[in-house]
Amino acid sequence: MEITKDIKYAGVNDHEVDLFEGQYIVPNGMAYNSYVIMDEKIAVMDTVDKNFKDEWLNNIKEIVGDKTPDYLVVQHMEPDHSANIDAFAEAYPDAQIVSSKKAFVMMGQFFGTDFADRQVVVGEGSTLELGAHTLNFVTAPMVHWPEVIMTYDSTDKVLFAADGFGKFGALDVDEDWACEARRYYFGIVGKYGKQVQAVLKKAAALDIATICPLHGPILKEDLGYYIDLYDKWSSYQPEEEGIFIAYTSVYGNTEKAVELLVEKLKEKGAETVEASDLAREDMAEAVEDAFRYDRLVLATTTYNNDIFPFMREFIADLVERDYQNRTIALIENGTWGPVAAKKMRAMLEGGKNLTFAENTVTIKSALNEASIAQIEALADELVK
Ligand code: FEO
């Protein structure tokens, strides 16, 4: 695949991965992107996952033909991209390795060598001349590891964006970009909004025609769309108006309350209402939806004088990612001594600009007239 006349795709598709980064389901697999810049000097941009060493080395061989790469640029040391640095170093003993100082320390940790005699250390503002192409390095600390650099090819106006603008899904599967990019962003990068904002500011000063991320498709058209979403996500602003209901239900009674709330909200004119059973549906998808919409309803059971485990995990996921700027409503169920609403609120209370709905619903075992009235009142408040 040709990105520009001189930049070729050398990455791989992974349909075998069970859980990406040890926790995320990837029904459509995963792509580990790598690129080769063909110039007087040849640069390879990042490696791929360890299971694809041979395929990746073959891809490079096919691209470079009878030439050999001069540089391997390592933008990110997480092993989905860095696992084959040693294999590359062995295959091309004269090539140098270009990376940040912190990344070389990590290479020492991962490989038992920091390739001291082959290092080219780069930082903010460093450049590397390949011939016609100049690579300009931009540091991107904590997006989402500390050693990350991005690389701007000022000749072809290409930004190699490391994990930025990446998504779940292999490149041989056609699917909506935003859905799996949002799940990826909030799952993996979501905690680091401030750092993403800092990189977006640097990127705004560059004339970018193409974004080459380490996962997901190469972005060429309508870059404003992607950059605008990244700006919203990293500044913790809701992407759109809508109500997301995250719930757990042990015997179906809390679920019935959720169903009733969905019905009432729709009756009262709410256009977007989505609900997810946290015990049975993908938690990362629920986290993504909580950030996508401006209103969140949490419905759960009192359990061991606390809250049901899946809800506790969900709220912890939100808090860890600095959940803010949203309205939150609470529904609790308890056969005796319901405390779930109080406990959920306590977990979230430190979040910036979180508004709690005035109406809280308390169910004692099953819906009754009183709790149905509370749901009606909550629905009114949420669509107001
Ligand atoms: Fe795609 Fe952070 O590794």
* pLDDT 10s digits, 61-95: 999 999 999 999 999 999 999 999 999 999 999 99
Instruction: Please give the distance, rounded to the nearest whole angstrom, from the Cα atom of residue 189 to the centre of ligand 1.
Output: 9
Spatial separation of the C-alpha atoms in residues 124 and 138, rounded to whole Å = 5
6-21: average pLDDT: 98
Query: Is ligand 1 within 6 A of the CB of residue 78?
Result: yes
CB atoms within 10 A of CB 35: 25
Which atom of ligand 1 is found nearest the CA of 144?
2
32-36: average pLDDT: 98
Banded model confidence at residue 326, pLDDT cuts 50, 70, 90? very high
Length of the chain: 384
Quote the pLDDT of residue 8: 98
Question: Which residue type occupies 45?
Answer: M
Query: Is ligand 1 within 6 A of the CB of residue 214?
Result: yes
Cβ distance 296 to 329 under 8 Å? yes
**261-295 tens-digit pLDDT:** 999 999 999 999 999 999 999 999 999 999 999 99
Grouping H, G, I as helix, E, B as strand and the rest as coil, residue 4 is coil
Quote the pLDDT of residue 333: 98
Which atom of ligand 1 is found nearest the CA of 148?
2
Instruction: Please give the distance, rounded to the nearest whole angstrom, from the Cα atom of residue 266 to the centre of ligand 1.
Output: 39
Cβ distance 273 to 243 under 8 Å? yes
Spatial separation of the C-alpha atoms in residues 99 and 75, rounded to whole Å = 6
DSSP 341: H
Quote the pLDDT of residue 165: 98
Quote the pLDDT of residue 382: 98
Q: What percent of the chain has pLDDT over 90?
A: 100
Which residue has a Cα nearest atom 1 of ligand 1? 163
124-150: average pLDDT: 98
Instruction: Please give the distance, rounded to the nearest whole angstrom, from the Cα atom of residue 203 to the centre of ligand 1.
Output: 20
User: Tokens 């500011």 belong to which residue?
Assistant: 201
Residue in 336, 343, 245 with CA at minimum distance from that of residue 295: 245
Banded model confidence at residue 371, pLDDT cuts 50, 70, 90? very high
Instruction: Please give the distance, rounded to the nearest whole angstrom, from the Cα atom of residue 296 to the centre of ligand 1.
Output: 29
User: Which residues contact residue 332 at a Cβ distance below 8 angstroms, ignoring those fewer than 6 apart?
Assistant: 299, 300, 301, 302, 338, 339, 340, 341, 344, 360, 361, 362, 363
Strands 293-303, 306-307: pairing is antiparallel
Q: What are the structure tokens assigned to 319, written together? A: 């808090």
Which residue has a Cα nearest atom 2 of ligand 1? 78
Q: Mean pLDDT across the chain, nearest whole number?
A: 98
Instruction: Please give the distance, rounded to the nearest whole angstrom, from the Cα atom of residue 97 to the centre of ligand 1.
Output: 19
pTM listed for this prediction: 0.96
Which atom of ligand 1 is found nearest the CA of 163?
1
Quote the pLDDT of residue 319: 98
Which residue has a Cα nearest atom 3 of ligand 1? 78
Spatial separation of the C-alpha atoms in residues 261 and 273, rounded to whole Å = 10
DSSP 10: -
User: Tokens 């404003």 belong to which residue?
Assistant: 224
User: Which residues contact residue 91 at a Cβ distance below 8 angstroms, ignoring those fewer than 6 apart?
Assistant: 57
Residues forming a β-bridge with 127:
136
Instruction: Please give the distance, rounded to the nearest whole angstrom, from the Cα atom of residue 334 to the centre of ligand 1.
Output: 42
Phi, psi at 137, each rounded to 5°: -95, 140
Quote the pLDDT of residue 259: 98
Quote the pLDDT of residue 373: 98
Strands 149-153, 134-139: pairing is antiparallel
Query: Is ligand 1 within 6 A of the CB of residue 167?
Result: no
Instruction: Please give the distance, rounded to the nearest whole angstrom, from the Cα atom of residue 163 to the centre of ligand 1.
Output: 5
Query: Is ligand 1 within 6 A of the CB of residue 215?
Result: yes
Quote the pLDDT of residue 142: 97
Spatial separation of the C-alpha atoms in residues 65 and 36, rounded to whole Å = 12
Instruction: Please give the distance, rounded to the nearest whole angstrom, from the Cα atom of residue 195 to the centre of ligand 1.
Output: 16
**186-240 tens-digit pLDDT:** 999 999 999 999 999 999 999 999 999 999 999 999 999 999 999 999 999 999 9
